[in-house]
Chains A and B, each alone.
Chain A
């Protein structure tokens, strides 16, 4: 019943944003290996300088302004200029300081390395 309240508590950032213009949700793939979590987001039409990646506590916010210009009058429109926005809750055990981002051909690759404390390690068993 109070699940909505709980959700708001969990994701204070994901409350509805009042902003002018259309907001689009980018398509995202998430991969994980022993070293890192890799987030890949399709954000075509965004210039590197108009892309913002924000980490606060355990909340990751991706935002990008579509700066593509269309010439003439629209005959058919399947996408609009506007803003991409998506908010994620990060798991514990990431080394936020070492986060690395690449932006190539309208695709964002965000590498979130795991902190050394949670990396799996092999424990040798000694013969007694």
Chain B
């Protein structure tokens, strides 16, 4: 049937190729889904970076400033708290989509932070944590000298 073993190798090679392609397809599908459902990651958080700061933006609607607890320890930033529900008992629930449970998220920061220069503000339900990069994290130009 096969003229030589080379043909068999080709067939198995092609099968292997397809197997990898299919695996990649499934992996992509899974990854896409994980980032799409945000149930496990509340509050939604954005990280922005410029030369001086690493800024964290957290969507925390309906939360007072004294209900948020931010901790920075060993480059691990933890934001946690609890949303108070101030609803009197006369109401019947028709629909419940908003997350009311307590929340906690930790982020391991990729860079060294100047712990003394951290500020946090809360505006219209968005928490902004400004983390100042440590001095030695700033890019340093190294000049090359001819010897």
Contact = CB atoms under 8 A, between A and B. Distances in A.
Interface in A70-112: 70-79, 104-107
Most chain B beta-carbon neighbours within 10 Å: one of A28, A47, A76, A105: A105
Contacts of B91: 31-33, 38
Interface residues of A, number: 33
Given A33-B90, A71-B48, A44 B41 contact: no
A116 B43 CA distance: 40
B46 interface: yes
A65 B70 CA distance: 28
A62 to B, nearest CB: 13
A88 to B, nearest CB: 10
Given A29-B98, A31-B93, A38-B91, A107 B48 contact: no
A51 to B, nearest CB: 10
Contact of B47 (A42, A46, A74, A105): A74
Interface stretch (B15-23, B52-60, B72-80, B135-143): B52-60
B145 interface: no
B62 A105 contact: yes
Nearest to B87: A31
A107 B62 contact: yes
B48 A105 contact: no
B96 interface: yes
Contacts of A37: 94
A107 B60 CA distance: 10
A4 B46 CA distance: 37
Contacts of A43: 61, 125
A106 B62 contact: yes
B3 interface: no
A29 B62 CA distance: 13
12 contacts: A27-B98, A33-B91, A42-B125, A44-B61, A45-B124, A45-B126, A46-B125, A68-B124, A70-B46, A74-B46, A106-B62, A106-B125
Given A31-B93, A106-B61, A106-B126, 10 more contacts: A30-B93, A31-B92, A40-B98, A43-B125, A67-B124, A73-B48, A75-B48, A77-B46, A78-B41, A106-B125
